[in-house]
Amino acid sequence: MKRNAFPAWLLALALLLTGCASGQAAQTQEQAQTQTETKDSVVIAIGSEPETLDPTQGWGHGNAPIVQSTLVQYTADLTFENDLATDYTLSEDGLVWTFHIRDDAYFTDGEKLTAEDVAFTLETAKAAQGSVDLTYMDKAEAVDEDTVVITLKQPTSIFLNTLASVGIVPEHAYSDDYGRNPIGSGPYKLVEWRPQEQLIFTANEDYYGEQPAIENVTVVFMSEDAALAAVQAGQVDVAYSTATLGTTEVPGYHVEAIPSADNRGFTLPVLPDTGETTDTGAPIGNNVTCNLEVRQAIAYAIDRDAIVDAVLNGFGRPAYSENDGMPWNNPAVALETDVDYAKALLAGGGWADTDGDGIVEKDGLKAEFDCLYPAGDSVRQAVGMAAAEQLRAIGIQVNVRGLSWDEISREMFSQSVLMGWGSASPNETYYLYRSEGALLEDYYNPEGYQSEITDGYLQAAMEALTPEEANEYWQLVQWDGETGTAMQGQCPWVWIVNLDHVTYVRDGLSIGGQPIHGHGHGLPLIQNLSDWAWTEG
């Protein structure tokens, strides 16, 4: 979530663009140009570098890990199809999954992938206790070379979602440095990793599936402005950009606005400030946002369409929840902008502008709080400023401040944060709203939302035996007709916009039918890399 250091090779490019490049920089440009003209190669600029390429530590979380294979994989409509698995069954009690493994999958060191590797991967991911949550798994066992049996502690409806992003690692070649030197059985293999600069992949010639049309892939890590400069200089074929920059026309390139579940919204602390702190001493609670009428007034006063048009240049759509458009979303959570109703909510709660300064107050307390965003994120800054301007019309003062993530982690339990989430899995709803996750330092529930009713629906959704049954409970989490996490309910979040992932693509290159993207600055872009191809010479 933090910005990366300025790559050395990009510094050379910047000098070149200003006419001050050395002969070495000129050579760098010539080499890059040669690579982009090779029609089995691409150079991709994205905004964030992965911490690891180890799936048991989180690589591929929410996306497809291109170096490794998965048991199942997502389809474009968010259902599942087999990958390493040839078939699977689930016991009637929802506890025992049996997967049969294809017999033609090999790791890039020549060793065959077996059920032992699958069991080892899942057990290792469970022990790591990282972003892959397998706390609900009891054990994974290989009963023969091609069959793995996975036993859960309780039925878990999101299990296939988890398996779709956990790449299988080789037990025989796994070590502490695996994340930097991975061996897998996926469509690509890692050639080189230069930290804070680039990743280089090449197609896996022994992949059991269809060979990718793009053989050589270089992924460079750049800030938003630097990526656009690289596009303008013709140095990259694909660049992840932003809505604030996406209207720039560049000859030889076109912009693709890829729909996403990547949302932006305010977290609003629901607890009062009583002087309590977290275990690390961070203050808890806010005496303004703890009032339900304030949170709901904010939700109704914001004109989301106006922010999409003015701030995102049309690259997005209004957001009403963490999962708009997903099969598990409750359509009843959408609401219309209603400034008069927002004012009425505040007045009904006893808030009034008694001193004429334009800010309402109650019992001497001004309706004023801070909204924090990661400094350097131009989109969050712009969204926050636009929303704050709209909220002044109802007498609420929001002070938008850019901080580092370390600083935000200290203030997020007592101030609003312009946070971003989004996933092609309903497990995000579970983590955002479960009571046991409140006030943990993992960014999911810093607002401190807790509800026995919500917990009951969450548990029922997790333990459902079919996706259809689970979806009914996920929807009740949001709104059951009387209460829920929705903005017309308890409103711990005010959702504002869903972003399109704005991407510059060189003319003549197809980046395939992009699946809906989750949250992330570029990594979702390459999850279908094996479908990319040059269509024009």
Write the pLDDT tens digit of every residue in 165-196: 899 999 999 999 999 999 999 999 999 999 99
The pLDDT value given to residue 18:
33
Q: How far is CA 243 from CA 64, 387, 418, in A?
A: 25, 16, 17
Distance of CA 155 to the CA centre of its chain: 26
The pLDDT value given to residue 348:
98
288 within 8 A of 297, measured Cβ to Cβ:
no
Residue 403 β-bridge partners: 374
Write the pLDDT tens digit of every residue in 262-303: 899 999 999 999 999 999 999 999 999 999 999 999 999 999
DSSP-assigned letter for residue 61:
T
Q: Pick the residue with more confidence: 31 or 341?
A: 341
Q: How far is CA 284 from CA 93, 164, 371, 423, in A?
A: 42, 37, 15, 28
Helices (H) and strands (E) in the chain, counts: 13, 23
Q: What is the mean pLDDT of the segment spanning 480-505?
A: 96
Taking 80 as the threshold, does the pLDDT of residue 68 lie above it? yes
The secondary structure of 90-153 as a DSSP string is E-TTS-EEEEEE-S--B-TTSPBP-HHHHHHHHHHHHHHTSSS--TTEEEEEEEETTEEEEEES
Mean confidence (pLDDT) of the chain: 90
Residue 219 CA to residue 515 CA, distance in Å, equals: 19
Write the pLDDT tens digit of every residue in 410-458: 999 999 999 999 887 898 999 999 999 999 888 999 999 999 999 999 9
